[in-house]
Amino acid sequence: MKRRWEDYCARLGKAPSTAIKEAIEQQLVKAEQFPPVKTYQQTSAVPDREPKVRVEILLTRSEKAAVLERANLERCSQRRLMIDMIRAGLTQEPQFGMKEIDALGESNYQLLAIGRNLNQVAKSMNEGRRDSVTIESIRRLTAIIDAHTDKVSDAMRASLERWNIE
């Protein structure tokens, strides 16, 4: 590659170092013209209770129909859907719909059950009752963990794919 670069610079009548410097300057000028887009983040875990500011947007009939259709699929209002879309765009983080919230709630329930079962296993082992820990009890825990992992993966996939449009 070095030989090709030197040949190219010779055709331009420039030293390789000068050509590299100019290329870097061009990239920096481009970067200044198009600075990276700011990514926002949620600053508090507590919902913001301040009054909201009204914004009006005009949609084409097809856009409005698509928003209505998607809101119905997500089991939310059109307003909530648009807010979620805006927040997802601003924060680059998923905004979960009711389907995903339900799945994550079930997931948390399953995690709590797994935790209780593991505590029982640990307690039995600490008391020297190793016979109560059976392969079957471990298989049951494994099945619960696998089901949990599937549900969380589905919710994550749905959240990541939710804003695709056709």
Predicted confidence (pLDDT) per residue in 105-120, tens digit: 888 888 888 888 888 8
Q: What local confidence, expressed as pLDDT, does residue 164 receive?
A: 42
d(C-alpha 68, C-alpha 39), whole Å = 28
- Is 160 a residue whose pLDDT tops 60? no
Q: What local confidence, expressed as pLDDT, does residue 124 receive?
A: 79
- Is 123 a residue whose pLDDT tops 60? yes
d(C-alpha 44, C-alpha 119), whole Å = 33
DSSP assignment of 33-61 equals HSPPPPPP----SSPP-SPPPP------H
Q: What rounded mean pLDDT belongs to the chain?
A: 83
Burial letters for 45-79: b for 16+ Cβ neighbours within 10 Å, e otherwise? Answer: eeeeeeeeeeeeeeeeeeeeeebeebbeebebeee
Q: What is the pLDDT of residues 2-56, one digit of tens each?
A: 999 999 999 999 999 999 999 999 999 988 888 888 888 777 666 777 888 899 9
